């Protein structure tokens, strides 16, 4: 096995089990095939662990194991079993048949995402190293999880950085156009093949539960509603009125479908349009407002522009909402941590001239675990706010 030697003093993150080795930390190396698993050593030649290498990426090595544990088929099988057991044994996931089984670095398998929707799997491979292991991973998923089908949604733009082309398509069995899932007494239709992410925003499960709890007799505004998870939760929670806003006609059709699946009699008001323009144009008679935009930044260079977008949304809502309104404000960018997001919302509140307080701060649910050695895997931030 080829070896990579780190520069002197660059071994500390690896000794602390951080899974990323940046290109600038690498000292000596031979000609290594991109995607190959390598042994990582410190400057003195002491072995630190194993990871896969890619010269195209700023993250040149992503660690799979630390110490002497070799990466082979048994290693991967144990990782998959451990990840699956964490979900199956977690009481917070007992009332759903849709969850993330493998969450990249959060499950110590960087570059791999696997979601389960009612026994149908979706796999997303983000890195060249995992791509090289694809056949073995598929064999293990079939053997360990015995799914009805496996669909490939490796169409994420991050693959381009890794030198990979986007890919999507059927791998095993037959994935239907719509998979029906259950979540805490709610029903949703999931479009695995063409929906956003892998078909559904599984990471907002806990927040959907919160919205259902607090929406009784509320006038709800669901901004960036996508397939209507929050809209459905609000309707089932007894909201007087729900307004669902999204720029996508397909998204609004999905909301309508999910409303029908839950046998909701009073349908939301559907508004197709740009949310930023909508907030500038319209008043806000709602007293429960959900702000859940897509990620505004794919890299650190775009953080400043992303913060402007988050501030603009929150400022418009704070300025226009009624006294006593509750606002749920979210960010799903890993480049913006909770501290920065809170500062952005603080700035919006200050400029609005309104008193705003926190009821609750929250992060992603337990099927999106955060590797304690890799804080970057904590990406979802939500603030439950009260506006005076």
pLDDT digit string (tens) for 119-129? Answer: 999 999 999 99
| Average pLDDT value for residue range 202-213 | 97
Q: What is the mean pLDDT of the chain?
A: 95
236 has a pLDDT exceeding 90? yes
Does residue 267 form part of some domain? yes
Q: Are 206 and 243 found together in one domain?
A: yes
Q: Cβ(334)–Cβ(374) under 8 Å?
A: no
> What is residue 315's three-state secondary structure?
helix
Q: Are 42 and 89 found together in one domain?
A: no
Give the pLDDT score at 334: 87
Q: What is the CA radius of gyration of the chain?
A: 22
Give the pLDDT score at 247: 96
| Average pLDDT value for residue range 213-224 | 97
Using pLDDT thresholds of 50, 70 and 90, give the confidence band for residue 28. Answer: confident
Q: What is the C-alpha to C-alpha distance for residues 122 and 196, in angstroms, rounded to an integer? A: 12
149 has a pLDDT exceeding 90? yes
Using pLDDT thresholds of 50, 70 and 90, give the confidence band for residue 343. Answer: very high
Q: Are 355 and 222 found together in one domain?
A: yes
Q: Are 285 and 302 found together in one domain?
A: yes
Angle, helices 229-236/205-214, rounded to nearest 10 degrees: 30
Q: Are 61 and 132 found together in one domain?
A: no
Q: What stretches of the chain adopt beta strand conformation (E)?
A: 3-6, 20-22, 26-29, 37-41, 47-53, 59-66, 98-103, 112-117, 120-125, 149-154, 167-172, 179-183, 186-190, 219-223, 241-246, 269-272, 288-291, 325-331, 356-362, 381-387
Backbone angles phi, psi at 212, to 5 degrees: -65, -35
Which of 66, 99, 116 is the last residue before a domain boundary?
66
- pLDDT, tens digit, for every residue of 303-327? 999 999 999 999 999 999 999 999 9
| Average pLDDT value for residue range 160-188 | 97
Number of domains in the chain: 3
83 has a pLDDT exceeding 80? yes
| Average pLDDT value for residue range 128-143 | 98
Q: Please state the pTM of the whole predicted model.
A: 0.94
Give the pLDDT score at 1: 82
Q: Are 79 and 209 found together in one domain?
A: no
Does residue 192 form part of some domain? no
Q: Are 55 and 82 found together in one domain?
A: no
Does residue 160 form part of some domain? yes
Q: Are 370 and 232 found together in one domain?
A: yes
Give, in order, the Cα–Cα distances in Å from 271 to each of 213, 216, 225, 243, 327.
Answer: 24, 22, 10, 7, 19
Range of the domain at 165: 73-177
Does residue 99 form part of some domain? yes
298 has a pLDDT exceeding 80? no
31 has a pLDDT exceeding 90? no
Q: Cβ(70)–Cβ(49) under 8 Å?
A: no
Q: What is the C-alpha to C-alpha distance for residues 262 and 251, in angstroms, rounded to an integer? A: 17
Give the pLDDT score at 299: 76
176 has a pLDDT exceeding 90? yes
340 has a pLDDT exceeding 90? yes
CA-CA-CA-CA torsion sign (145, 148, 152, 153): negative
163: domain CATH number is 3.30.750.80
Q: What is the C-alpha to C-alpha distance for residues 146 and 210, in angstroms, rounded to an integer? A: 33
Q: What is the C-alpha to C-alpha distance for residues 56 and 53, in angstroms, rounded to an integer? A: 9
Q: What is the C-alpha to C-alpha distance for residues 119 and 116, in angstroms, rounded to an integer? A: 6
Q: Are 257 and 356 found together in one domain?
A: yes
Q: 355: Cβ–Cβ under 8 A, 6 or more apart, which residues? A: 349, 387, 388
Give the pLDDT score at 320: 96
Using pLDDT thresholds of 50, 70 and 90, give the confidence band for residue 29. Answer: confident
Angle, helices 249-261/229-236, rounded to nearest 10 degrees: 30
Q: Are 62 and 78 found together in one domain?
A: no
Q: What is the C-alpha to C-alpha distance for residues 279 and 13, in angstroms, rounded to an integer? A: 44
Does residue 182 form part of some domain? no
Q: Are 136 and 285 found together in one domain?
A: no
Does residue 129 form part of some domain? yes
Taking 3-state DSSP, the helix, strand and coil percentages for the chain, each rounded to the nearest 5, stand at 35, 30, 35
Q: Are 85 and 54 found together in one domain?
A: no
- pLDDT, tens digit, for every residue of 254-268? 999 999 999 999 889
Angle, helices 73-88/134-145, rounded to nearest 10 degrees: 40
325: domain CATH number is 3.40.50.150
């Amino acid at each position: 096995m080829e070896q990579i030697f780190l520069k002197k003093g660059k071994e500390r993150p690896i000794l602390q089990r951080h899974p990323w080795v940046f290109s600038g930390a690498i000292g000596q190396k031979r000609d290594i095939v991109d995607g190959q698993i390598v042994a990582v050593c410190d400057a003195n030649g002491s072995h630190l662990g194993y990871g896969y290498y890619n010269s195209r990426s700023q993250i040149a090595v992503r660690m799979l194991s630390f110490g002497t544990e070799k990466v082979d088929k048994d290693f991967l099988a144990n990782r998959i079993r451990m990840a699956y057991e964490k979900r199956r044994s977690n009481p917070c996931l007992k009332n759903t048949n849709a969850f993330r089984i493998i969450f990249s670095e959060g499950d110590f398998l960087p570059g791999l995402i696997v979601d389960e929707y009612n026994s149908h799997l979706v796999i997303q491979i983000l890195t060249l190293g995992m791509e090289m292991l694809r056949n073995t991973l598929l064999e293990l998923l079939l053997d360990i999880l015995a799914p009805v089908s496996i669909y490939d949604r490796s169409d994420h733009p991050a693959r381009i950085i890794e030198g990979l082309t986007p890919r999507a398509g059927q791998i095993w069995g037959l994935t239907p156009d719509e998979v029906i899932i259950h979540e805490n007494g709610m029903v949703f239709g999931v479009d695995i093949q063409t929906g956003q992410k892998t078909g559904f925003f599984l990471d907002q499960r806990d927040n959907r539960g919160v919205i259902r709890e607090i929406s009784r007799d509320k006038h709800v505004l669901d901004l960036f509603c996508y397939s209507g998870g929050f809209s459905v939760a609000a309707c089932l929670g007894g909201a007087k009125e729900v307004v669902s806003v999204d720029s996508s006609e397909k998204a609004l059709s999905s909301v309508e479908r999910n409303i029908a699946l839950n046998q909701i009699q009073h349908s939301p008001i559907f508004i197709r349009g740009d949310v930023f323009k909508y907030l500038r144009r319209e008043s806000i008679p709602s007293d429960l407002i959900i702000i859940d935009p897509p990620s505004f930044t794919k890299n650190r260079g775009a953080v400043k522009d992303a913060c402007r977008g988050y501030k603009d949304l929150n400022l418009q809502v704070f300025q226009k909402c009624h006294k006593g309104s509750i606002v749920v404000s979210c960010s799903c960018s890993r480049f913006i941590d909770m501290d920065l997001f809170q500062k952005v919302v603080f700035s919006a509140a200050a400029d609005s001239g309104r008193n705003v307080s926190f009821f609750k701060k929250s992060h992603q649910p337990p099927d999106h675990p955060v590797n304690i050695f890799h804080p970057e895997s904590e990406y979802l931030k939500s603030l439950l706010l009260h506006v005076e």
